[in-house]
C-alpha cells in the first residue's frame, strides 16, 4: 500500500501508518552561514510537522548537515549551491574533472533544476540554486519530495478550464502557487496545494492551498503551472497560469524512450517556468509578513535573555 508515493508498512491500532521520511538540507555555498541553514531547517521542519503532515498525512523530519559526507544514507538530500563552477569544484574530488565539466554544461543548459533520482542509489535528491528567496525554494523542493519522492505519481481530475475532459496530473504540490510564500519562524516558506485542489467543484470554506491563495480547484496562479498526461495521446503537457492552451513537453515516443521520472522531465525542460529574482510574493492572507523577520528576531533575543538570566539565577541560589 502506498500513500502520497510513500510506503506504508506499520499499523497503529489496526490503521496503516506511513513510514517517516527524512530530509537533509546541505549547503555547498559560502553565501549561507551554518546558523542561517539551521534556522531555515528549523522553519521547514515546523512547516512539515504543523502545516504539511496534518493535510497530507505524511510525517517527516528535516535537518541541516554540515556536508554531504555526514548525511545518513537513507536521507533525501536537498543541496543548496550558488555557482555551478563552485559546485562542480566541490564535487570534483568525487566525480572527476570530466564529470564536473559535464555538470557545469547541464547547468548552462538549465537542465538541472528540481528533484532528480540518484542513478546509483535510486534515492531522490534536489538541487536548489541560491537566490534572495532560497529558503522558499528549499521548502518547495522539500515538500514536493515528501509528497511524491519518485516523481511519477498521477492523479486523475478534470482538465483545468474544461470540466468535460479528464487528464492525469503529476503531483507537484507547490508548482501552481510557486510564487506565493508565508513566514514560519519569520522565514519565508512555500505555499502548497491541498488534496482538495483536485475536487470537481468549488465548496465554500474549503482550503485549496495552505495560505488560501488558491481559491478554487485547479486554479493556477500567475507564474505557476500544472503538468499532466492527456490520455487521448499520452503526451506530457504543461499549462501555465494565465494561459488557456497547454504546451507539449514530451510526446508518447519521447516518454517511451526515457527512463527518467516524469518530474525530472518537467524540471529539466527549458520551457518549464523558472522563478526569477523578485518573482516571489507574500500570500494575500499573510499579515505583517514584511515584519516577520525582525519580529522573530526580537522574540528570540528576548527568550534567549530570559534563559540566560534563569541560568545565572541558579548560581545565585547556591550562595
Residue whose C-alpha is closest to residue 48's, from 27, 23, 66: 23
* Grid cell for residue 180: 506565493
How far is residue 142's CA from residue 77's CA, in Å, rounded to a whole number?
Answer: 9
Question: Of 14-23, 52-61, 101-110, 182-191, where does mean pLDDT reach its minimum?
Answer: 101-110
Q: What is the pLDDT of residue 198?
A: 97
- Max CA distance (Å), the chain: 82
Distances (CA, A) of 57 to 101, 192, 258: 41, 14, 31
Q: What is the pLDDT of residue 12?
A: 58
- Determine the average pLDDT of the residues in 102-117: 62
Q: What is the pLDDT of residue 11?
A: 58
Residues 128-182 pLDDT 10s: 888 899 999 999 999 999 999 988 999 999 998 898 999 999 999 999 999 999 9
Q: What is the pLDDT of residue 168?
A: 97
Q: What is the pLDDT of residue 10?
A: 55
Amino acid at each position: 500500500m502506498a500513500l502520497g508515493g510513500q510506503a506504508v508498512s506499520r499499523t497503529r491500532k489496526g490503521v496503516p501508518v506511513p513510514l517517516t521520511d527524512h530530509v537533509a538540507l546541505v549547503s555547498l555555498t559560502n553565501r549561507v552561514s551554518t546558523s542561517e541553514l539551521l534556522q531555515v531547517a528549523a522553519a521547514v521542519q515546523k512547516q512539515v510537522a504543523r502545516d504539511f503532515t496534518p493535510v497530507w498525512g505524511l510525517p517527516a523530519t528535516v535537518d541541516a548537515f554540515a556536508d554531504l559526507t555526514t548525511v545518513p544514507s537513507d536521507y533525501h538530500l536537498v543541496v543548496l549551491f550558488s555557482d555551478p563552477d563552485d559546485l562542480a569544484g566541490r564535487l570534483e574530488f568525487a566525480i572527476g574533472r570530466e564529470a564536473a565539466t559535464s555538470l557545469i554544461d547541464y547547468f548552462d543548459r538549465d537542465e538541472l533544476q528540481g528533484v532528480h533520482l540518484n542513478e546509483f542509489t535510486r534515492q531522490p535528491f534536489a538541487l536548489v540554486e541560491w537566490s534572495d528567496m532560497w529558503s522558499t525554494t528549499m521548502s518547495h523542493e522539500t515538500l514536493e519530495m515528501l509528497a511524491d519522492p519518485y516523481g511519477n505519481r498521477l492523479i486523475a481530475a478534470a482538465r483545468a478550464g474544461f470540466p468535460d475532459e479528464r487528464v492525469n496530473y503529476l503531483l507537484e504540490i507547490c508548482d501552481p502557487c510557486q510564487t506565493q510564500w508565508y513566514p514560519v519562524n519569520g522565514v519565508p516558506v512555500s505555499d502548497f496545494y491541498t488534496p482538495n485542489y483536485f475536487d470537481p467543484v468549488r465548496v465554500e470554506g474549503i482550503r485549496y492551498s495552505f495560505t488560501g491563495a488558491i481559491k478554487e480547484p485547479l486554479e493556477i496562479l500567475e507564474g505557476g503551472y500544472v503538468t499532466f498526461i492527456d490520455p487521448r495521446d499520452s503526451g506530457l503537457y504543461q499549462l501555465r497560469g494565465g494561459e488557456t492552451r497547454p504546451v507539449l513537453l514530451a510526446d508518447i515516443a519521447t516518454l517511451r524512450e526515457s527512463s527518467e521520472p516524469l518530474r525530472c522531465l518537467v524540471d529539466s525542460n527549458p520551457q518549464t517556468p523558472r522563478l526569477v529574482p523578485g518573482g516571489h510574493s507574500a500570500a494575500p492572507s499573510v499579515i505583517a509578513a514584511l515584519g516577520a523577520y525582525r519580529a522573530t528576531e526580537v522574540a528570540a533575543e528576548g527568550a534567549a535573555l530570559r534563559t540566560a538570566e534563569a541560568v545565572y539565577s541558579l548560581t545565585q541560589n547556591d550562595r
